[in-house]
Amino acid sequence: MKIIAVANQKGGCAKTTTVVNLAACLAEFGKKILVIDLDPQANATTWLGADSGGGDAFKLLTTKAPLEQLIAPTSLEGVYIIGASRELANFEKAVAGEIAVETRLKRRLSALKPEHWDFVLIDTPPTLGLITLNALSTAQELLVPVTTHVLSLSGVAQLVETLEEVKDVLNPSLNILGFVACRVDSRTRHSKEILELLINQFGDKVLKSTIRESIRLAEAPSFQLSINQYGSKSTAADDYRALAAEVLSLAK
Ligand SMILES: Nc1ncnc2c1ncn2[C@@H]1O[C@H](COP(=O)(O)OP(=O)(O)OP(=O)(O)O)[C@@H](O)[C@H]1O
Ligand SMILES: [Mg+2]
């Protein structure tokens, strides 16, 4: 069982798109996936057809409810979810004054049976607050989606700084699985230049697979379908399958 946090505090950089479609493509390879939606926006939960009126991720973080009560099936075979709800926005208030709140998720997930799951994918909100800290404290691997626009890069530096602090204090073995360039438009020089800048800065931590700009990907959530269901032969499905294959080879 590998726990991968998908994080980048920049809003709209394709975290949720990557969690949902990477989960779908890993499941296509026969893997069993648990998605944990830690974003109060609950986009991954809605996309996967698992509206969580029950606030399961909030319960995960704030109660001792058994995990099997919180894990729900999704519309994708092999993909399960602990779904988010708006209540999650109250997490920091709910645990104010309690101890070791940054590692609450880690302690809760220690009850997962590793033989049941190949991957746990954690979607995070666009902040570096307590929820994202919980994800970084729990994960073995960090996957960072980066859109190829110049403003994306400054946020990455801040994320790497937070990552170093988390490694020092909370989770020394956290590894950067990689940066994945998303919404790449190979026709523009700008997109290529940003990708080159990323590679100059992070070398082989920039994954070989890139996700191209695709209208199919932007449409898929309205139908609650993953890209391999909605456009199985689309470039976006190819891209996410390639990413899944690369993740499989890196996160053994
Ligand atoms: N490769 C792509 N091609 C076209 N549109 C994309 C692509 N990847 C993501 N998008 C679109 O970009 C927007 C933001 O994506 P997404 O919701 O996955 O980002 P996010 O990082 O999870 O955002 P937030 O920080 O709000 O949680 C969405 O409208 C999504 O459909
Ligand atoms: Mg999101």
Tens-digit pLDDT profile for residues 28-49: 999 999 999 999 999 999 999 9
Q: Give 188's Cβ-side CA count (13 Å radius).
A: 12
CATH assignment at residue 138 = 3.40.50.300
When pLDDT is averaged across residues 7-15 and rounded to a whole number, the result is: 95
Domain count, the chain: 1
**Pocket of ligand 1, beta carbon within 6 A:** 11-17, 39, 41, 43, 126, 182-183, 211, 213-214, 217-218
Name the pTM for this structure: 0.97
* 41 C-alpha to ligand 1 centroid (Å): 13
Per the structure, the complete domain to which residue 186 belongs is given by: 2-250
- Per 3-state DSSP, the chain is made up of helix, strand and coil in percentages (nearest 5) of 50, 15, 35
- pLDDT mean over 164-180: 96
Strand pairing class (2-6; 141-147):
parallel
Beta strands in the chain (DSSP E): 2-6, 33-37, 72-73, 79-82, 119-123, 141-147, 175-182
